[in-house]
Amino acid sequence: MENIKILIILTLVSIIFLIRTHKKGKKSESLSFLSTMIATLFGVLVAITLSTIEDKKKERNDTIKLLNSGLEVLKVTYAFTNQFGKQDIDIEQDSSEDEDDQKYRRLHNPLPYPDLLVTIIENETVSKNISQETLLQISAELINAQNRGNYDDIIEYKETLKSLFFWIKVEIAHLQGKISVEEIKSQDKLKIQDKLKIDFIEIGIGANVE
């Protein structure tokens, strides 16, 4: 912003000077000053352009780092969900446990929700650099996670976490230039997964995304 202000000031000064020298008939002085100002303005424009490119590159790298943190959040969330689900099944199959015991355990051990992932997605840097197509998919899955985050829907909830993992992986690949927006728009998950070699073993499972 400061560079742009300087550029505007220099432009106005050069215009005023040219008008004044033109009226006095000092053409050689006008041409000399004009060439100097053009060189200066060009230098400023180059500096602004390079600065903008570097800023965008830094923001993109910061976004990738934050999204990678989001993947770690999902891994932990999935692991705890899996653990709580197995414990719930064990309690259900245990003849010494009654229904009230199971309800009590479910009430005091709710399935974890990836709140930190929401914070990451809402981060200004991430929301500004993430593709609209992926953002829509992630937002939809976060809503699904809120609706399915209970023991009765635990299978669907785990699939939702898996889908979130998938779309964040896709966005990281997009920021790295490995996949285009058009391919993301196709929403052909199996084709995208095959191209990017997305491995769900990272999140604790090995099957394809639904």
Instruction: Report whether 101 contacts 90 (CB < 8 A).
Output: no
Neighbours of 4 (CB within 10 A): 11
pLDDT mean across residues, the chain: 82
pLDDT for residue 190 is more than 90:
no
* Residue 192 or 36, more confident: 192
Extract the tokens encoding 33. 């000053």
Residue where the block lists tokens 């099944």: 89
Q: For residues 79, 84, 85 and 86, what is the CA-based torsion angle, rounded to 10 degrees?
A: 90
Buried b vs exposed e over 132-170: b needs ≥16 C-beta within 10 Å?
ebbeebbeebbebbeebbebeebeebbbbbbbbbbbbbb
Identity of residue 154 = I
Q: Express as a percent the part of the chain with pLDDT over 90.
A: 48
pTM over 0.85: no
pLDDT number for residue 206: 46
pLDDT number for residue 41: 65
The arithmetic mean of pLDDT across residues 79-88, rounded, is: 92
Listed residue (171, 202, 163) closest to 72, CA to CA: 202
- Residue 189: pLDDT band with limits 50, 70, 90: confident
Q: Tell me the pLDDT tens digit for each residue of 121-166.
A: 999 999 999 999 999 999 999 999 999 999 999 999 999 999 999 9
Domain residues of the chain, as ranges?
2-51, 59-203
Least confident among 21-35, 38-52, 53-67: 21-35
